Amino acid sequence: MLKDDDRLRLELREAFDVPALSDEARQAIQRRIRVAHVPRRSLRWRLVGTTCGVLAGLAFGAPIARANYEGYVLATKLRDRSPFTVTMTTDAAPSSPGETIRTKPVIATVAEGVCIVTEPGPGTDTLYRYEPGRLIQFSPRDGKAIVRPVDSGLVRLLELPDLIGEQLASFRLMKKVRSLGKVPVGGRLLDELEVEVDGIFDRILLDLDPQTGEPLRMRIFSKGGFPPTTFDYDRDPVKARKTVARSTSALASAPVVDLDQSRRALAESAAARVLKEVPVGRDHLKIFRIETNRRGDVFVLYTAPGKYGGEEWQGNWLRLEDGQGRPWPSDTVRFNLSKLRLRGRYPKAQVFFSPTGKPAKGKVRLFALMRGLAFVPSDAVGKVDEGDAKRVDLGTHLPARVSVGQPDWAYDAFNFSDPNWLIANGRKLRFLDALQQGNNPEAKRVGLELEAEFPEMMTGFFYDRGQLSLGLYRAFRATGDRTAALRYLRDAIRRNPGPGHPDFDRDLAASRKREGF
Amino acid sequence: MTIARRERKERVETDEQEGLLFETYADRVYRYALRRVKVAAVAEDIAAEVFSEVYRRPSRVPTEAAQAWLLGIARRKIADYYRKANVRSEVPLNEAITADEPLGFGALIEGERQRQLQALVNSLPSDQREALLLFYVEDLSPAEIAITLRRSRFAVNSLLQRARKRIYELGRDYFDEGREKC
C-alpha cells in the first residue's frame, strides 16, 4: 500500500498532468527568443556605429541607418531607445531580397522587441505590408506603425489576402495575431484567429473559399467593449457590408432575455410530452442512444416503445453505434439496460453498467436528450443502490435543470444564424438597434441586431435581420421593431414556465399529487 | 587578450549557457505555465518571455537553482498575463469543440476523481496551493520553492504543512475512497 504522501504526489501529478512541449512549439519559442535576443556589442562597435550615424547625419542632413527586416534589431543593437531615423528596406528578408517597401525616412523607437515607426508628419496614406517572416503596419493617422516578427502563430494570417489585413488593421491596431486552427461552423471549416488589442483578446472567424482562398466572410467577436463586426465579402470586396451598433450605450440599455429560463421551460414541456405518451401498464422505455462527452457526462436519449421505434433496440442489450455505423464503444463498457420499468405513468429505471455482467463502481450522471434539448435529472446523481446495480429513478426527472456546460453535440451543430441553435445554446439574447452600411454610404439604414451570450465561449455577436429566420425573423419582419421579437420570446417563456416559477411548481405539485407521488 | 576578444569569448560562453538552460528547462517552464493558464499558445508565449528574460540578464540566473528561478519568473509573467489581459475564465473554442475518443467507464470514474482533486487543490489559499503544486507536481525542494515564491525556507515549510493538513481535512471522503481502492 502506498504511503499517503506518495499517493498524494502520484494523484496530484495525474490530476495536473499536461502535454509536454512539442518540437514545433519548442522551435517556435526558440525563434522568438532569437529574434528578441540582442547580442551585446562591444564598446568599439558601438562607437563606430554612433560615429557613422553622426557623420551620415552631418553629410545628408538627417541621420540615416540602413535597417533590415529587423529594423528594430538594429535599433536595439545600438541600445538607443530615443528616436532616430531609419530607412525601412527588406534587404535581409529571405523571401524578397532587396525589395524596398518604404524609402521615406521615418522615426523609429524601440520598446519590448517591437519597433514603433513614426511618420515625420501624419496625413499620408496608410500602408500595410504582409510578408513571409514579418508583419508591418503603418498607420500615420495614429502616428505609428508596428513591425512584428512572424512566429508560427502568424503564418495563417500572412497567407490571407491583403484586404483582410487592411480591415484588421483599420479595425484597430493589433498587437498580436495567432492562428487557432480550423473550427467547424455550420458544416464549414473556418479559420479561427486570435487578435490582441491593448491586452484584450478578440476572436476572428474567417470563412475562406476552399477553391480560391478568397475570403467570403469575416466575423470579429470582441470582448473589449467594442461592437462585434461582420464583413461579408460575397466574392467582391467592394460589396462588403459592415454592421455596427448604433451606439455603445445601446448595449447597456438593451432588453435581455434569459435563455436559460426559456430553455428549461422548453425542456420541461418536452419531457412532460414524452412521459405522457408512455402507455399506462407498459413496462419498458426504449433507449435510443447513449453518449458521453469529454467531461464524462452520460447522455441518454429515450422514449416510449411503439412510438419512435428504431433498430437500435435489440433485446436486453443496447447496440450502440458511432456516426459511421460502427459499434460503439467497441472495446469498453457496454450498458445493460434490461431493467427499465415503469411504475404508474412515471418510469422507474435500473441502469446496469457492466461489461461482463459484473457491477462497476462510480457515480452515474444520467442525462436525457430529447428533440435537441438537454435536461439533467437534478437528483439522479447519488441515487445509487448499495450492491450490484446503479439504480436511477427516472421518476425524479421532472424537476429537471438544464446543463450549464453544453454537451459536445451542441458545438457540432454550431450555427450562428439559426435562432433555434441560439435558443438551445445561448444564455442571453439582447436586441439592439444597429446601422447597416452597404456599398452606397447614402443607403445606410437602421436594422435590428441580435446579440447572444454563450457560456464558456464568446461573449456575443450580432445578426442582421437577413440572417435571422423562423420565429424571430418572422416577428421582426412583421412589425420591423424589436418589441415584437421580444414579445415572441417572452410569450414562449410564459407558455412554458420553468422550475422555480410559482405556476410551474404549483402545477407540478398538483400533478404529482394526482399521480400518487 | 584584447578587450574585444575577451568580450567575444564571454559572449560565446554565455550563449552556450543560455542554450543549455533552454534545452533543460523549456519543457518544465512551459508545462508549469500551461497548468495555470490552460491555453497552450499562451503558455508558449510565457515560456518565450521567461527565456527572453534569461537572454536579457544572463548573469542573474543562479546556476544552483536555475529551475526555481525560472519558475519564479514564469509565475510573475502569468500574474502579469492575468492582470494585463483581464482574462476571463473561458474555454478556447478550438479546444472546446475537439471531440475526444469515447471514454470507457473506468476512464470516466478516473476523470471524475481527478476533477475532485483539482477542485480540492483549487479550494486552498493561493500561496498554499502554489507551494503544494511546486512541491508535489513540479518536484521542487522547499529551498527551491523558497526561491520561486520569494519566501523564506521556513515559511515554505509552514505553507506546505498547512496545505497538506488542509487538503486531507477537506478531502477526507476523497482520500478514504482512494485508500479503499488501494
Question: Would you list the DSSP string of A448-472?
Answer: EEEEEE-TTS-S-----GGG--HHH
Using the predicted structure, report yes or no on whether residue A504 has a pLDDT greater than 70: no
Rounded percentage of chain A residues whose pLDDT exceeds 90: 0
Give the C-alpha distances (Å, rounded to integers) separating B38 from A232, A244, B72, B89: 33, 33, 18, 10
Q: Which residue of A has its CA nearest to B4?
A: A42
Residues 6+ away with beta carbon under 8 Å from A277: A303, A304, A307
Among the residue ranges A1-15, A431-445, B86-100, B111-125, the one predicted with the least confidence is B86-100
Give the position of cell 467497441: A330
Q: In 3D, which of A93, A75, A76 has the Cα closest to residue A84?
A: A75
Q: Which residue of B has its CA nearest to A290?
A: B102
Q: Which chain A residue shows the shortest CA-CA distance from B107?
A: A296
Please name the member of A5, A7, A181 whose beta carbon is closest to the beta carbon of B94.
A181
Average pLDDT (B16-33) is 82
- Please give the pLDDT value at position A417: 40
Cell of A243: 454592421
Residue predicted with more confidence, A415 or A44: A44
Interface of B with A in 6-65 (CB under 8 A): 7-8, 11, 22, 26-27, 30-31, 34-35, 40-41, 44, 47-48, 51-52, 55-56
Record the cell numbers describing residue B35, joined without a space: 497548468
pLDDT of B163 reads 92
Q: Is A30 in contact with B22 (Cβ distance < 8 A)? A: yes
Most confident by average pLDDT, A178-187, A454-463, B70-79:
B70-79
Q: In the prediction, which pLDDT does A201 show? A: 61
Helix axes A482-495, A470-479, angle to 10 degrees: 140
Helix, strand, or coil (residue A116): strand
With beta carbons less than 8 A apart as the criterion, state whether A438 and A449 touch: no
Residue A515 scores a pLDDT above 50: no
Average pLDDT over residues A380-386: 29
Mean pLDDT, to the nearest integer, of A11-19? 83
Is a pLDDT exceeding 50 seen at residue B138?
yes
Q: In chain B, what residues touch A26 (CB-CB under 8 Å)?
A: 26-27
B104 touches chain A (CB under 8 A): yes
Cα of A403 to nearest chain B Cα, Å = 16
Q: Residue A76: is its pLDDT beyond 60?
A: no
Place of cell 476572436: A203
- Nearest-Cα distance to chain A for B166, in Å, is 13
Nearest CA in chain B to A9: B136
Query: In terms of Cα–Cα distance, which of B85, B64, B60 is closest to B73?
Result: B60
Position with higher pLDDT, B71 vs A341: B71
pLDDT at B23: 82
Tell me which residue in B26, B93, B109 faces A192 most closely, judged by beta carbons.
Answer: B93
Q: Can you tell me whether residue A504 is helix, strand or coil?
A: helix
Chain A residue numbers with beta carbons less than 8 Å from the beta carbon of B92 are: 180
Per-residue pLDDT tens for A275-296? 444 333 333 444 444 443 333 3
- CB atoms B178 and A11 under 8 Å: yes
Residues A250, A24: Cα–Cα separation, whole Å:
45
The predicted structure's pLDDT at residue A283: 37
Kindly write down the DSSP assignment for every residue of chain B, as one continuous string. --HHHHHHHHHHHHHHHHHHHHHHHHHHHHHHHHHHH--HHHHHHHHHHHHHHHHH-GGG--GGGHHHHHHHHHHHHHHHHHHHHT------HHHHTPPPPPPPHHHHHHHHHHHHHHHHHHTS-HHHHHHHHHHHTS---HHHHHHHHT--HHHHHHHHHHHHHHHHHHTHHHHHHHHHH-
DSSP-derived secondary structure for A275-327: HHHSPTT----EEEEEEE-TT--EEEEEE-TTTS--TTEETTEEP-B-TTS-B
CB of B79 within 8 Å of any CB in chain A? no
CB-CB neighbors (< 8 A) of A458 in chain B: 93
Cβ of A8 within 8 Å of Cβ of B167? The answer is: yes
What band does A190 get if pLDDT is binned at 50, 70 and 90?
A: confident
For chain B positions 112-131, those within 8 Å of chain A (CB to CB) are: 112-115, 117-118, 121
Which candidate from B55, B105, B107 shows the least CB-CB separation from A353? Answer: B105
The end-to-end CA distance of chain B, in Å, is 66
Is A294–B132 a contact, with Cβ atoms under 8 angstroms apart?
Answer: no
Does residue A344 have a pLDDT over 70? no
Which is nearest to A158 in space by CA: A140, A181, A133?
A133
State which H helix or E strand residue A492 sits in: helix A482-495
Asked if the model's pLDDT at residue B145 lies above 70, the reply is yes
DSSP one-letter code for A153: G
pLDDT(A222) > 80 = no
Q: Do A8 and B104 touch (CB under 8 A)?
A: no
Whether residue A76 contacts residue A147, with contact meaning beta carbons closer than 8 Å, is answered with: no
Among partner residues B26, B91, B99, which is closest to A26 by beta-carbon distance?
Answer: B26
What ipTM was reported for this prediction? 0.79
Looking at the complex, report in whole angstroms how far the Cα of residue A209 sits from the nearest Cα belonging to chain B: 20
The mean-pLDDT minimum among A133-147, A169-183, A220-234, A411-425 falls in A411-425
Which of A178-182, A377-381, A433-437 is the most confident on average? A178-182
**pLDDT for position A181:** 62
* DSSP H or E segment with residue A170: helix A162-171
Distance, in Å, from the CA atom of B26 to the CA atom of B22, rounded to the nearest integer, reads 5
Q: Which amino acid is at A20?
A: A
* H or E segment to which residue A48 belongs: helix A43-60
Q: Which of A20, A180, A298 sits opposite B31 (nearest CB)?
A: A20
pLDDT digit string, tens, across residues A16-70: 888 888 887 787 777 766 655 544 444 455 555 555 544 544 443 322 322 222 3
Tell me the mean pLDDT in the region A484-497.
Answer: 44
Q: Which three cell numbers stand for residue A377?
A: 435529472
CB-defined contacts A:B, below 8 A: 166
Three-state secondary structure call for residue A13 = helix
CA dihedral over B123, B127, B130, B134, signed as positive or negative: negative
Helix (H) or strand (E) holding A437: strand A428-437
- A198 to chain B: closest CA residue: B85
At which residue does the C-alpha cell 436586441 appear?
A431
Q: What is the mean pLDDT of residues A87-93?
A: 31
pTM for the whole structure: 0.35
Would you call A18 and B35 a contact, using CB atoms and an 8 Å cutoff? Answer: yes
> What is the end-to-end Cα distance of chain A in Å, rounded?
48
Q: Which of A26, A42, A412 sits opposite B4 (nearest CB)?
A: A42
- Contact (CB<8Å) B133/A9: no
pLDDT of residue B162: 92
CB contact under 8 A, B86 and A4: no
Alpha-helical (H) ranges within A68-151 are 71-77
CA distance A296 to chain B (A): 5
What are the CA-CA distances from residue B148 to residues A207, A482, B66, B72, B110 (Å)? 45, 56, 10, 4, 31
**pLDDT over 70 at A99, yes or no:** no
Q: In which band, very low, low, confident or very high, does the pLDDT at B158 lie, cut at 50, 70 and 90?
A: very high
Closest Cα to residue A248, out of A280, A222, A274? A222
- The residue type of B121 is V
CA distances from A460 to A263, A296, A329, A430 (A): 18, 28, 36, 9
Half-sphere exposure of B42 (CA within 13 A, CB side): 23
CB atoms A15 and B117 under 8 Å = yes
pLDDT at B157 over 60: yes
- Check CB contact under 8 Å for B105 and A332: yes
- B172 touches A at CB < 8 Å: no
**Among chain B residues, CA nearest to A180:** B94
Share of chain A above pLDDT 70, in %: 6
pLDDT value of residue B161: 92
Q: A411 contacts in B (CB within 8 Å)?
A: 96-97
A500: left (phi over 0), alpha (psi -120 to 50) or beta: left
Contact, B54 vs B70, CB < 8 A? Answer: yes
Phi and psi at residue A321, to the nearest 5°? -130, 150
Is A296 close to B97, i.e. CB distance below 8 A? Answer: no
Task: Tell me if A476 sits within 8 A of A465, measured CB to CB.
Answer: yes
Predicted local confidence at residue B156, as pLDDT? 92
Helix (H), strand (E), coil (C) string for A348-413: EEEEEECCCCCCCCCCCCEEEEECCEEEEECCCCCCCCCCCCEEECHHHHCCEECCCCCCHHHHHC
Helix (H) or strand (E) holding A264: helix A259-277
Q: Provide the sign of the torsion angle of the four alpha carbons A95, A96, A97, A100, taken in this order.
A: negative
Give the DSSP H or E segment for A216.
Answer: strand A215-221
